Amino acid sequence: MPAERIDGVAIAAKVRAKVAQDAEALKAKGVTPGLTVVLVGDDPASAFYVGAKEKACKEAGMNGETIRLPASTPEAELLAVIDKLNADPAVHGILVQMPVPKHIDAQKVIRRIDPMKDVDGFHPVNAGKVLIGDADGFAPCTPAGVQVMLQEAGVETSGKEAVILGRSTIVGKPMAALLIQSGKGADCTVTICHSRTKNLAEHTRRADILIAAIGKPEMVTADMVKPGAVVIDVGINRVDDASQKRGYRIVGDVKFDEVAARASKITPVPGGVGPMTIAMLLANTVRAAQLSLAGTPEG
């Protein structure tokens, strides 16, 4: 029997509806949750993502602002913009769209953002909080979205073998940190694989939950997957396709058709993990606004 598809579009819509509800409740207390995205330069892909984030904020009844700076902006000027946003009580979430131009140190930029406004979850303080399981930390949006998907799809995680392909700081490592916590949607035994891992398929074939985040088109094939496994495909890869008007199509890191014939549940690409990322960004921003209110008399 082919695997059940985990519908990222539907789950993301559910998350966004809850965000809109929470935003309404905050507005009744006089606070409109606000996300400010800073875009340096005019990379078309980044401009597209930033536009999508602004639109999603507005749809959820939140303030969504974008500050657009020229590619030549000096690092000090960008840091000064962040300082201003850190000090602005109407701004609950700050996101600097990556990548930044080469003359700017991305780590310095990330570290300058107030951790309580770091809704991307990239600041070392939040990475640490996620690792120790501190409830007020912000987890990076993609792995947080995967965890929500597993829960919404009714996947039992406790005691399961989770194998993660990829060790980046935005997906693989925080994914592992989330799944080894004790509690709901976690309690997994986690293995992280990367480009130096030997005998990759031996690891992947042990996985009850296999999460691919490597950026290699359709690299995970059916022979690498345990029958009945849950397969989550984070990859977003462009491959040439002359039959498409735009000359390419988007595929994941998993060879969907053959793996779907072996897995119990699987996420498609597109329409799987992708839509969850923006939904979790909104959820983190609303939570940042809730946390900012918690310290005031209204909260």
Question: Nearest 5°: phi and psi at 220?
Answer: -85, 115
Residues in the interface with ligand NDP (CB under 6 A) total: 25
The interface with ligand NDP within residues 272-291 (CB under 6 A) comprises 273-274, 277
Of 32, 195, 244, 296, the residue at the interface with ligand NDP (CB under 6 A) is: 195
196 has binding-site annotation: no
Q: Give the residue with the Cβ less far from ligand NDP, 26 or 251.
A: 251
Query: Contacting ligand NDP (CB under 6 A), which of 5, 18, 216, 249?
Result: 216
Sign of the dihedral through C-alpha 159, 177, 218, 11? positive
**Is 8 labeled as ligand-binding?**
no
Residues belonging to the active site:
53, 97, 120
Q: Does 268 bind ligand NDP (CB under 6 A)?
A: no
The verdict on 172 binding ligand NDP (CB under 6 A) reads yes
**Nearer Cβ to ligand NDP, position 73 or 142?**
142
Question: Binding of ligand NDP at residue 168 (CB under 6 A)?
Answer: yes
Helix, strand, coil shares of the chain, percent, nearest 5, are 40, 15, 40
CB of 24 to ligand NDP, least distance (A): 27
CA distances from 46 to 39, 183, 239, 281 (A): 8, 35, 19, 16
| 214 touches ligand NDP by CB under 6 A | yes
Which residues in 9-48 contact ligand NDP (CB under 6 A)?
A: none
For position 234 contacting ligand NDP by CB under 6 A, the verdict is yes
Return all residues near 91 (Cβ < 8 A) that are at least 6 apart: 34, 35, 36, 65, 85, 117
Structure tokens at 23: 């935003």
For ligand NDP, the closer of residues 197 and 264 by Cβ is: 197
166 is in an annotated binding site: yes
Is 236 marked as a binding-site residue? yes
Single out the residue of 194, 201, 239, 247 in contact with ligand NDP (rule: CB under 6 A).
Answer: 194
CB burial string 19-49: b at 16+ within 10 A, e below: bbebbeebeeeebebbbbbbbbbebeebeeb
For residue 116, give the DSSP letter: G
DSSP 99: S
> Is 97 near ligand NDP (CB under 6 A)?
no
Q: Which residues contact 287 (CB under 8 A, 6 or more apart)?
A: 138
Lookup: tokens for 161: 């073998």
Residues of each annotated binding site for NADP(+): 166-168, 236
Chain residues in the site for ligand NDP (CB under 6 A): 142, 165-168, 170-172, 193-197, 200, 213-216, 234-237, 273-274, 277
